[in-house]
Amino acid sequence: MIEVRELTVKFKRFVAVDDVSLSVAADETVGLVGESGSGKTTVARAIVGLQRPDSGTITLDGVRLGPVARRPKARQRAIQMVFQDPRSSLNPLMSVASIINEAWRTHPDSAPTGDRTMAVHRLLEDVGLDPSVARHRADELSGGQCQRVSIARALAVKPRLLVCDEAVSALDVSVQAQILRLLVDLRRRHRLSMLFISHDLGVVHQIADRIAVMRGGVLVEEGPATEVLGSPRHDYTRSLLDAALELNTHHGEVGK
């Protein structure tokens, strides 16, 4: 469905993304993994249309995508992003209902035809929130609730691809697990494709069908999740896997 071919993005002093090719099929979740500065977020921003590539192509159903402002509305809403910090991605002074209604104002083709209030309530229930949350401002909510609202806002415009950029890294471990379970469930119920970006292989293995590993702007390994996690070919992937295992062991010890 989404195909990235030979993507290169340069900033003033360095190459952030160097000749990266990546695809996400319909109903598939691809985990894009790498440490901070590896280029994974830049790839995500290019796919969404927030970062202009220096070279390479991004296509949706075989049709080339340009910057977000030049994309037809239907293609803008087909790809939605869930950001790392749920608090900074929501207007703290707006009510949750207003945040979701703003998405419908931006993309009127996706707006419900019936009662908007009921539609907001259904969306909130869909992401595991009580409908009463609709009247609260974002700054009155917990981090986990804010991330659920961010996901609801993305779902409001009926996307086909959800790009989750470190969507659980700012949350407590127990809340991370809840959001991951929610994303797995939403993917199944809404027939979503996902590009799930994380620095943590331990998180990605819970959600991804395929895993792509980036280091220093380069894609160093890619394959089915079972293969990448079970028999990694690249030393860097092995080091990420070791770090994830150490972290899981540490959490286990803390739990005891």
Domains annotated for the chain, with CATH where assigned, are: 2-92+158-255 (3.40.50.300)
Give 139-184 pLDDT, tens digit per residue.
Answer: 999 989 999 999 999 999 999 999 999 888 878 888 888 999 999 9
Helices (H), 112-234: 116-126, 143-156, 173-190, 201-204, 225-230
Quick one: what percent of the chain has pLDDT higher than 70?
A: 95
Task: Report, as an integer, the average pLDDT of 126-133.
Answer: 96
207 three-class SS: coil
Flag whether the pTM goes above 0.85: yes
- Residue 250 has a pLDDT of 47
- Per the prediction, the chain carries an average pLDDT of 90
Task: Report, as an integer, the average pLDDT of 211-227.
Answer: 95
Give 92-113 pLDDT, tens digit per residue.
Answer: 999 999 999 999 999 999 999 8
Q: Is 39 left (phi over 0), alpha (psi -120 to 50) or beta?
A: left
